[in-house]
Structure 1
Amino acid sequence: MENFFLDNKDMLFKFDNFNLAEIVELYEDEYRQADKYEYAPENYEEAMLNYKKSLEIMGQICGEEIEPMAEDIDEEGQKLENGDVKYHPNTKKALELLRKAGFTGVTIPRKYNGLNFPTVIYIMLIELVARAEAGLMNIFSLQDIGETIFEFASEEIKEKYVKMFANGEVTGAMILTEPGAGSDLQRVRTKAVYDEKKDEWKLYGTKRFITNGNADVSLVLARSEEGTTDARGLSMFLIEKDDSVQIRRIEDKLGLHGSPTCEMQFNGTEAKLIGRRRMGLIKYVMELMNGARLGIAGQALGIAEAAYRAAYDYAKEREQFGKSIENFPAVYDMLTDMRINIEAARALTYYTSQMVDYKKAYQRKYEQTDEREYRKKMKEYKTIADTLTPMSKAYSSEMCNDVAYKGLQVHGGDGFMKDYDIQRHYRDARITNIYEGTTQLQIVAAIRGVVTKKLEPVFDELENKVSKGCNEQIAMIKEMRKKLNNSIKNYKDMSDEEKDFYAKYLVDMATKIITSYLLLIDGMRIKRKMIIAKTYIRRSKAEINKYVEIIENLSGLVVDNKELIYDIE
């Protein structure tokens, strides 16, 4: 069987060309952690060797052990027995493999028994797991709960629970959504009641669509301030699974059958307050959601990679009219488009992950030293990361759906049959641009950073890294930037409803611009990447021209006439 890291030339290329020196030095406290912890690296080379070895081990586990179990997990799913979720035997086996290999607490500091890996390496690990079994990735990635506890909880809570996550002793869940509060989380009604005499909180209410709701330790968003109806009345709580937590059902889903999605009820569940009251949604959930969104971008990459490979293998083997169908332009056009868009999304997601790493690393530095310079850098990178994260999630998840669609199309009628894995990838892909915020909500999250030109310094910095031999491509990207800026001017003159309608075009323009730069920088290293960059840039230029035409000539038309468009009577 294959090693899912070593057989992926693009992942290897990206890793071998990373420049993580500053990030790693910050994470490792200028390598002073080697004096405290036996397994901490003493220098950059050793750190990168550790990361690569970990990726190789994960690639081997995913390719040789987990992927062969994925079909059975998908067909049989998880079970609810006597109010308790029973993982599929293969899911349990896979989780134990990951635990024994040490892939728990990936981003948690060593003080709490974690690996202290940067986010970008974690996202690569997520991608590998998702390629093998997309549902398993949801359970694996919820170790983010441990990192959130580390970032915001009291030292007493951190000492107990963060170590439990790092040691692989518990699974996690983030419990946010309710029947009446999906994307609009400020409508959450689950109550947190405080007993002053006992100095304890208890939760009452119902939650829905909770990934891995059967987890041992979960973070719950609940209304702690009686009489409030908005975000300012919500706080974050930690719970442990007990008899007061009732799993009412497991949702019967289109895909991701390896991940139980639960409807659950709290009946006086004991809870611990995380951080400060009233900051649950305003601060803590937003940080948790950003991490989850980046994780979904990684999951989308893994599903797309699996779908592409299934389509490519089928196209090589399937013969029609005396030759394999990979030789027909109609087919290799789809395969080429799939490959380019996967590598474009990977470039953007990995770059975004590094911006998150800078933000986290400088935040920790500032907390340790109180130096203003670290605070300034932390805020700069936070601004960039907060814009790029929803862009990455939107782009990668839409790409994933498109790749899975084309992958099934390459299979023709066979793709519609359950005999082929492509139908599983197609079903698994569909949720990626829905959960953790739909693509439409990612646009809402990203548009402010785009129209206030927060990415302009990033564009300039990336352009300065491109060699003079790429003048033609740089000229095209500059033209795209000019059209984006002109569209921003038009956007600012629109009504609020028009802005909401046309924001998607501006965010997509900015996404194509930054991704064009990233692919062009990669293209300076090898010929194959330059071909991808040139193709992507030309396509992006054409699409941006189309967006400009829409904004300039259709502005207001759909918004003003939507009732007539809807009318079918």
Structure 2
Amino acid sequence: MPNYFSDNTDILYHFEKLNLKDIVNIAEDEYKQAEQFDDAPVNYEDAMENYRKVMEIVGDITGNYIAPRAAKIDEEGAVFENGKVTYAKGTQEALEMLSKAELMGMILPRRFGGLNFPTTIYMMAVELISRAEASLMNIFGLQDIAKTIDKFATEEQREFYLPGFSSGLYTGAMALTEPDAGSDLQAVKLTAYQDENGNWFLRGVKRFITNGNGDVLLVLARTEAGTKDARGLSMLSCMKDDSIIVRRIEHKLGIHGSPTCELQFNDTPAELIGTRRFGLLKYVIYLMNRARVGIGAQSLGISQQAYEEALKYAKAREQFGKPIYNFPVVANMLIDMRVTLESNRTLFYNTCTWLDRKEAYEDLIEKRKSEKLPFNDVNEKFKEAQRMTNFLTPTTKYILSEASNKMTYDSIQIHGGTGYMREFAVERLARDARITNIYEGTSQLQIVAAAGSVINDVLADYINDWEKKEYKGSLKKLKESLMEIRVLFNDALKYVKEKKDTGFQDVAAKDLVELYSYIYTGYLLLDEANDDQRRVFTAKRFILDSLARSRKNAESIKNELYSDILHADTILI
């Protein structure tokens, strides 16, 4: 019987090498929670053992219960009838199973029925869920809505909403986008107004809302009359009721089990979350950082299953008297897929750890402030984690979602004509993957989000330290390749800065971000290879391939490839 956690050697490798000591120590109040809750760990080793046991449960449920239902969920999809949205039967069964296993509040505090796990462990669970059935992640992964309420709401609001999330009674939705406000959220028009008693109500339309039929909605709304920018937007919460009309659900290419709704709010009772005017400037940014890693996990899960399907088929399919696995061109494709999986997973869990650090240090600062204790030392750690998170979350979302599309494409190619048929899982995986580089910010917007960090060379100190480090044997040559990529990056960056052309900088940003990501991921892999011989193969192929790609990236910037953009109106006829 498959277990998507314990059967996956790469996930196990990353689980074993996680360093979450500071994060867990802060989350567990220096393990004082063990005095109040029987399931709280007494030390770090106990915490990691708890995480392992839960991940084994997730691995069992995903491999043996959810995955067998995936094809039927895709075929049946969510149904909209008589104004009501109904999940596919398999989705309902999966959510019920996850609720019984007490997994719907993984990142919520114990006092509200949650498990109080770090985001990194939660994201491992999201990866496994996504591998089993990608659209289910869009419901299971909305625990971030509850996390946002926990972070910014009042204690009374937490007590009202969070136990329902933890038990599985509630699912949620982020109601952000509108017909004329997709990526440009500062254009949101849905209004929130108060009556004479100070009660809030919502009026307007939201579109493309994942799980818009959820029980608890976080709504970005314009609370300040007459404003047209981000400063007039606030975050409000509301419960599903008759004043919220689901006008339609979208008929999508993929992720059929996840309903995408158009919602009409008709004077819907709501509550303000946090402070007015900070809806987009603070709360949505918090949500989006978490959403980016969520889509990264989804992309990784889809990629894993695409690889598994391709490998299985290549070993079983015979042509010219032997399995196609034995043809070098096919074996090379499979190795590329495997290296992409492992390098992306290395980048991903590094990103998750930085996000956990950022949030843990932020919580510790707030605690010390409330206790009137010094916090300068923690503040420096927080600033570092924030800088890293600002670069890594958009970069990781970009790289992993694009890779997911490429890996499902290659998996179909290895299957040949059969992969194009509904009977084979890769057809569904390719459709599910296609949304990953679109929602929660397109790849182009992720580049924009990461570009500032890249242009300011925020990783310079880390890279300098890596360049001073001694590596074993053949790894020295790989280090030289990474140093060469850095030279190419620095030359390209200098060229872009000296042009002093913001339009050119915007177009060159994609190549700069990719160059920077090669260096960072390459050194992460080099460190792994220095400690584990098995990782040398992944590091070597990734770094040498990145060197070849980096030359193209640099040339694209410096040979005026993009100069024809000035003549777009002439070319685009």
Q: TM-score of the superposition, structure 1-length normalised? A: 0.97
> What does 1:361-376 align with in structure 2 at a 5 Å threshold?
361-370=360-369, 371-376=375-380
Over 3 Å counting, the alpha-carbon distance change for 1:241 and 1:387 in structure 2 is same
Per the alignment, residue 342 of structure 2 pairs with 343
What's the counterpart of residue 178 of structure 2?
Answer: 178
1:356 equivalent in alignment to 2:355 = yes
One-letter amino acid matched to 2:456: T
- 1:109-135 Cα distance to aligned partner (Å, 9 max, x none): 223322111111111100000000000
Q: CA deviation at 1:461?
A: 4.9
Matched, 1:409 2:413: yes
Query: 2:33 touches 2:40 (CA, 8 Å); kept in 1?
Result: yes
Deviation at 1:342, TM superposition (A): 1.1
Pairwise CA distance, 1:558: 2.6
Q: What SS does the corresponding residue of 1:107 show, helix, strand or coil?
A: coil
Residue 531 of structure 2 aligns to a residue whose secondary structure is coil
Asked whether the equivalents of residues 507 and 562 of structure 2 are also in contact (C-alpha less than 8 Å), the reply is no
Provide the secondary structure at the position in 2 that maps to 1:561.
helix
- Superposed CA deviations along residues 31-52 of structure 1, whole A, max 9, x for unmatched, are 2221222111111111111111
- In the TM superposition, residue 463 of structure 1 has moved relative to its aligned partner by 5.4
The one of 442, 445, 468 equivalent to 1:441 is: 445
Which runs of structure 2 are paired with 1:148-163 in the superposition (5 Å)? 148-163=148-163
Partners of 2:483 and 2:29 in 1: how far apart?
39
Structure-2 residue corresponding to 1:544: 550
Q: Work out which of the residue numbers 535, 538, 541 in structure 2 matches 1:535.
A: 541
The residue aligned with 1:507 is 513
8 Å CA contact 2:173–2:212 kept in 1: the answer is yes
- Partner residue, 2:564: 558
User: Corresponding residue for 1:518?
Assistant: 524
Q: Is the 8 A contact 1:314 1:411 kept in 2?
A: yes
1:412-423 mapped onto 2 (5 Å cutoff)? 412-423=416-427
User: What SS does the corresponding residue of 1:243 show, helix, strand or coil?
Assistant: coil
Q: Tell me the distance in 2 between the aligned counterparts of 1:306 and 1:507.
A: 27
CA distances 1:407-432 after superposition (whole Å, capped 9, x unpaired): 00001000111110000000000000
Q: In structure 1, what residue type is equivalent to 2:453?
A: G
Query: 2:73 touches 2:91 (CA, 8 Å); kept in 1?
Result: yes
Deviation at residue 198 of structure 1 after TM alignment: 2.3
Instruction: Return the alpha-carbon distance in structure 2 between the equivalents of residues 236 and 257 of structure 1.
Output: 28
Cα pair distance change 1:170/1:58, threshold 3 Å: same
Q: Match for 1:547: what amino acid? A: N
Runs of 4 or more consecutive aligned structure 1 residues displaced over 6 Å after TM superposition = none
Taking the TM superposition and a 5 Å limit, the aligned residue runs for 1:484-499 are: 484-494=489-499, 495-499=501-505
Aligned equivalent of 2:462, options 458, 465, 469: 458
Mean CA deviation greater in 450-459 or 169-178: 450-459
Q: Which residue of 1 aligns with 2:124?
A: 124
Counterpart of 2:477 in structure 1 is: 472
Partners of 1:318 and 1:347 lie apart in 2 by 31
What is the CA-CA distance between 1:10 and the residue it aligns to? 0.5
- Separation in 1, partners of 2:470, 2:436: 33
Give matches, 1:78-117, under 5 Å.
78-117=78-117
CA positional deviation for 1:140: 0.1
Counterpart of 1:299 in structure 2 is 298
Query: By how many angstroms is 1:246 displaced?
Result: 0.3
CA contact (8 A) 1:462 1:518 kept: no
CA drift at 1:262: 0.5
Note the residue ranges of structure 1 that are not aligned, 5 or more in a row. none
Counterpart of 2:125 in 1: which secondary structure? helix
Q: What are the Cα deviations for residues 516-538 of structure 1, in whole angstroms up to 9, with x where unaligned?
A: 11111221233331011011101
- 1:466: how far off? 6.1
1:524 counterpart SS class: helix
1:206 is aligned with what amino acid? Answer: V
Q: Is the 8 A contact 1:130 1:302 kept in 2?
A: yes
Q: Which is further off, 320-329 or 466-475?
A: 466-475
Q: What number of residue pairs does the alignment pair up?
A: 566
AA of the residue aligned to 1:543:
R
Contact between 1:340 and 1:532, CA under 8 Å: does it hold in 2? yes
Structure 1 position 166, deviation (Å): 2.0
Answer whether contact 2:556 2:562 (CA < 8 A) is retained.
no
CA distance in 1, matches of 2:55, 2:527: 24
Distance in 2 (alpha carbons) for counterparts of 1:96 and 1:553: 57
The match for 2:267 is 268
Counterpart position of 2:47: 47
CA distance, structure 1, for counterparts of residue 84 and residue 467 of structure 2: 54
In 1, the alpha carbon distance for the partners of 2:462 and 2:107 equals 26
The code of the aligned residue for 1:25 comes to N
CA contact (8 A) 1:463 1:517 kept: no
Percent pairwise identity: 50
By how many angstroms is 1:465 displaced? 6.6
SS in 2 for 1:272: strand
Q: Is the 8 A contact 2:529 2:535 kept in 1?
A: yes
The whole-number CA distance in structure 2 between the counterparts of 1:269 and 1:82 is 20
Deviation at 1:180?
A: 0.5
Corresponding residue SS for 1:115 = coil
For 1:127-146, what aligned pairs fall within 5 Å after superposition? 127-146=127-146
Deviation per residue, 1:265-288 (Å, 9 max, x gap):
000101100111111001100110
Provide closer, same or farther for how the CA distance between residues 136 and 403 of structure 1 changes in structure 2, counting only shifts above 3 A.
same
Answering whether residue 250 of structure 2 is matched by residue 244 of structure 1, we say: no
TM-score (norm 2): 0.97
User: How big is each residue's C-alpha offset from its partner over 1:476-510, in whole Å with a ceiling of 9 and x where there is no partner?
Assistant: 11221222122221121331111111100010111
Equivalent residue, structure 2, for 1:253: 252
Distance 1:236 1:464, change over 3 A: farther
Contact 1:105 1:143 in 2 (8 A): yes
| RMSD, aligned α-carbons | 1.3
8 Å contact 1:466–1:520 — kept in the other structure? Answer: no
Report the CA distance shift for 1:462/1:241 in structure 2 as closer, same or farther (over 3 A).
Answer: farther
Can you list the C-alpha shifts for 1:150-181, whole angstroms capped at 9, x where unaligned?
A: 11111211122122212222001000110111
What residue in structure 2 maps to residue 384 of structure 1?
Answer: 388
* Partner AA of 1:225 in structure 2: E
Distance 1:558 1:13 in 2: 47
Residues 74 and 462 (structure 1), Cα distance of their counterparts in 2 relative to 1, 3 Å cut: farther
Deviation of the 1:560 alpha carbon = 2.0
Residue of structure 2 equivalent to 1:223:
222
* Secondary structure in structure 2 of the residue aligned to 1:80: strand
Counterpart AA for 2:247? R
**Aligned 8 A contact 1:497 1:559 in 2:** no
The reply on whether 1:8 has 2:8 as its aligned counterpart is yes
Give the unaligned 5+ runs of structure 2: 370-374
Structure 2 distance, partners of 1:382, 1:245, is 37
Task: State the alpha-carbon separation in 1 of the partners of residues 365 and 464 from structure 2.
Answer: 27
Quote the residue 2:435 is aligned against. 431
Q: CA deviation at 1:16?
A: 1.3
CA distances 1:521-561 after superposition (whole Å, capped 9, x unpaired): 22123333101101110110111111111111125423223
Matched, 1:394 2:411: no
Matching of residues 312-331 of structure 1 within 5 Å = 312-331=311-330
Distance in 2 of aligned mates of 1:168 and 1:466: 50
